[in-house]
Structure 1
């Protein structure tokens, strides 16, 4: 696979300091572009500045207030893969106590143009990326509407932040909103959704997982068995009995047997006993207050 990307290193030029003026944070972003798209620097910069001007939380760096520094990059994994705009910035000073990280990051698809993304695609991607960063700041401020924004984004990086937020807070009231993510095209999102559902779901959600099981790839299937072991109930036990008796893959069969034993005993499997398939990225943890 041809890897056409510049690493999103989040080289933060300086830490943000002090509160922003009027609740908005002026943002200064450096750009890192692959050689094939280096002539897009002006277009990418223009798209990001437009998104910052329209933001309710951020602002272009010519606004008053203490500047937040960060980096943006435009990448794609292969010629047929979509372009992706990545944006990361230092956590604003007044929100640092709400995060367990020093920087927040997000990304948004900029289309699959064979040569380079269009200006329309760049403007839309910049808007969605900045919106994703806004949502993280809203959550840190205690505004739960940020979660709705992340869940509606369709962007894997933003969905993973939403899943981590729900899991960290054990926010059971949001469990039903995670079910559509079981059909996500992104493997990381599918596995993370199952992991979090196993923590915050109910036996009704176990039934929903069983209904989706035939669509899951092996890694997600393994996580589904673990989630069902934690949720328990007739649907979970019945499905795990069937899987333990009929699973063709020896490793998955062993996983189903462990999950069945756990579901019957009422003792959920621990992370120490069973390695996680995909760890959630450490993007925006520490929202518990």
Structure 2
């Protein structure tokens, strides 16, 4: 990958939404591009500047303040995979007490063009990626509207942040909003939803998981069993009984049997029973009460 360092200066509003326009932090980003997209430095810079101009919590360069450093990266995993614009910035000084991490990140798809993203796709990706950063800042300031933005983004990285936020805050009032994500195309998202629902959900959510179980891929089966073990109830027990008696895979059958025992006893499975789900972004674990 050819790393092109662009002197991009952005400004992050320090004031919370609704407050007067206070101090601003210039954000100096380095830009990293793969060789196949090395000519996109200027279009990406322009897309980011335009998106920042339209943002409620961010703005283009132009104000004084303490510089915050970050990076913008355009990449794709394979020639047929979508281009992804990744943004990562240091947590601004005024928000550091609200995060357990030193940087926040956001990503957005820029389309699957075989050669390079179009200007329109880059503009849309920049807008969504910056909206993801903005949403996390809102959550850090106690503004729950940020969760709505993340859940509506359709971007796996942003959805994972939203899911972990619900889990970390034990925000049971938002648990039902995660159910549609059981049909998300990204396995990481589906597994993360099951993990969080198992922790903060209710027996009504167990019934919803059972209804969706036949649509879930085998990679999520283990997490289905573990979530139902923690939630319990008639729907969970009935499903786990069937799974324990009919599961073909020996390891999954053993998992279903353990889950059934837990659901019947009312004792949730131990966290030491084995790795669950996938490793979520550190940022998603970072928000503090």
- TM-score, with structure 2 as normaliser: 0.92
In the alignment, is the contact (CA less than 8 A) between 2:163 and 2:193 conserved in 1? Answer: yes
What is the aligned partner in structure 2 of residue 153 from structure 1? Answer: 153
1:265 maps onto 2:265 in alignment: yes
Secondary structure at the aligned position of 1:89 is classed as strand
Gaps of 5+ in 1: 8-12
In the alignment, is the contact (CA less than 8 A) between 1:219 and 1:277 conserved in 2? Answer: no
Q: CA deviation at 1:274?
A: 2.5
Whole-angstrom CA distance in 1 between matches of 2:227 and 2:23: 41
Q: CA deviation at 1:271?
A: 1.4
User: Could you say if the C-alpha distance between residues 195 and 6 of structure 1 is closer, same or farther in structure 2, counting changes exceeding 3 Å?
Assistant: farther
User: Could you say if the C-alpha distance between residues 131 and 24 of structure 1 is closer, same or farther in structure 2, counting changes exceeding 3 Å?
Assistant: farther
Whole-angstrom CA distance in 2 between matches of 1:191 and 1:225: 11
In the alignment, is the contact (CA less than 8 A) between 2:99 and 2:288 conserved in 1? Answer: no
1:212 maps onto 2:212 in alignment: yes
1:144 maps onto 2:112 in alignment: no
Q: CA deviation at 1:22?
A: 2.1
Whole-angstrom CA distance in 2 between matches of 1:23 and 1:261: 57
Q: CA deviation at 1:18?
A: 11
What is the aligned partner in structure 1 of residue 238 from structure 2? Answer: 238
Whole-angstrom CA distance in 1 between matches of 2:2 and 2:254: 41
Q: CA deviation at 1:28?
A: 2.0
What is the aligned partner in structure 2 of residue 41 from structure 1? Answer: 41
In the alignment, is the contact (CA less than 8 A) between 2:32 and 2:74 conserved in 1? Answer: yes
Whole-angstrom CA distance in 1 between matches of 2:12 and 2:176: 39
What is the aligned partner in structure 2 of residue 10 from structure 1? Answer: none
In the alignment, is the contact (CA less than 8 A) between 1:170 and 1:200 conserved in 2? Answer: yes
What is the aligned partner in structure 1 of residue 18 from structure 2? Answer: none
- TM-score, with structure 1 as normaliser: 0.92
Q: How many residues align?
A: 278
What is the aligned partner in structure 2 of residue 172 from structure 1? Answer: 172
Deviation sequence 1:230-287 (CA, Å, 0-9, x none): 0000000000000000011111111100000000010001211222131222114342
What is the aligned partner in structure 1 of residue 100 from structure 2? Answer: 100
Q: Which moved more, 1:221-230 or 1:274-283?
A: 274-283
Whole-angstrom CA distance in 2 between matches of 1:240 and 1:18: 50
Q: CA deviation at 1:219?
A: 2.2
1:86 maps onto 2:86 in alignment: yes
What is the aligned partner in structure 2 of residue 54 from structure 1? Answer: 54
Secondary structure at the aligned position of 1:78 is classed as coil
In the alignment, is the contact (CA less than 8 A) between 2:244 and 2:254 conserved in 1? Answer: yes
Q: CA deviation at 1:64?
A: 2.6
What is the aligned partner in structure 2 of residue 249 from structure 1? Answer: 249
Q: CA RMSD in A?
A: 2.0
Q: CA deviation at 1:19?
A: 5.0
Whole-angstrom CA distance in 1 between matches of 2:38 and 2:13: 34
Secondary structure at the aligned position of 2:269 is classed as coil
Matches within 5 A, 1:68-79: 68-79=68-79
In the alignment, is the contact (CA less than 8 A) between 2:12 and 2:25 conserved in 1? Answer: no
In the alignment, is the contact (CA less than 8 A) between 1:91 and 1:103 conserved in 2? Answer: yes
User: Could you say if the C-alpha distance between residues 161 and 40 of structure 1 is closer, same or farther in structure 2, counting changes exceeding 3 Å?
Assistant: same
Secondary structure at the aligned position of 1:149 is classed as helix
Ranges of 4+ aligned residues in structure 1 off by more than 3 Å: 16-21
Whole-angstrom CA distance in 2 between matches of 1:216 and 1:19: 42
Gaps of 5+ in 2: 16-20
